[in-house]
Amino acid sequence: MSAASHAHLPTKAMDTPVIDSVKLEAFFMRAVGDLSAGYAGVMVSLGTRLGLYKAMAGAGPISPKELAARAGCAERYVREWLNAQAAGGYVEYHARSETYELTPEQAMVLADEDSPAYIPYAWNVPASMWADENKAIHAFRTGEGVAWGDHAERMVCGVAAFYRNGYRASLVPEWLPALDGVVARLEAGIEVADVGCGHGHSTVLMAQAFPKSRFHGIDTHALSIAEARRHVTEAGLSQQVSFDVASAVNYPDRQYGLICFFDTLHDMGDPVAAARHAAEVLAPDGTVMLIEPLASDRVEDNISPVGRLYYAASSVLCCAHAISEGGKLVLGAQAGESRLAEVFRRAGFTRFRRAAETPFNMVLEVRR
Residue 106: closest CA among 123, 121, 91: 91
Alpha carbon distance 67, 79 (integer Å): 9
Residues 159 and 251 in one domain: yes
Residues 219 and 79 in one domain: no
Last residue in a domain, options 91, 112, 133:
112
Structural domain for 78, as ranges: 21-112
- The answer to whether 186 and 205 have CB atoms below 8 angstroms apart is no
CA atoms 132, 50, 166, 86: torsion sign: negative
| 3-class state of residue 194 by DSSP | strand
Residues 144 and 105 in one domain: no
In a domain, 119, yes or no: no
Residue 359 has pLDDT above 90, yes or no: no
Provide mean pLDDT across the span 273-300.
Answer: 96
In a domain, 168, yes or no: yes
pLDDT at 6: 47
Residues 67 and 148 in one domain: no
Residues 89 and 31 in one domain: yes
Residues 358 and 257 in one domain: yes
Residues 59 and 133 in one domain: no
User: By mean pLDDT, which of 6-20, 55-69, 100-114, 146-160 is the weakest?
Assistant: 6-20
In a domain, 10, yes or no: no
In a domain, 317, yes or no: yes
| 3-class state of residue 298 by DSSP | coil
Residues 87 and 224 in one domain: no
In a domain, 180, yes or no: yes
Residue 119: closest CA among 161, 90, 77: 161
Around 100, how many Cα atoms within 13 Å sit in the side-chain half-sphere? 27
In a domain, 5, yes or no: no
| Number of structural domains in the chain | 2
In a domain, 7, yes or no: no
In a domain, 11, yes or no: no
Taking residue 177's Cβ as centre, other Cβ atoms within 10 Å add up to 12
Cβ-based burial of 281 (10 A; exposed 0-12, middle 13-18, buried ≥19): middle
- Sequence-ordered list of residues with C-beta below 8 angstroms from that of 116, at least 6 positions apart, any chain: 165, 166, 168, 169, 170
Sheet containing 241-245, strands listed edge to edge, beginning at the edge strand earlier in sequence: 241-245, 214-219, 191-195, 256-262, 282-293, 361-367, 351-357
pLDDT at 9: 47
CATH code of the domain covering residue 91:
1.10.10.10
Residues 279 and 211 in one domain: yes
Assign 3 a pLDDT band (cuts: 50, 70, 90): very low
Residues 256 and 158 in one domain: yes
Q: What is the mean pLDDT of the chain?
A: 93
Residues 246 and 176 in one domain: yes
Last residue in a domain, options 60, 87, 112:
112
User: For 17-30, what is each residue's pLDDT tens digit?
Assistant: 899 999 999 999 99
Residues 99 and 135 in one domain: no
pLDDT at 275: 98
pTM to 2 decimal places = 0.87
- The answer to whether 142 and 89 have CB atoms below 8 angstroms apart is no
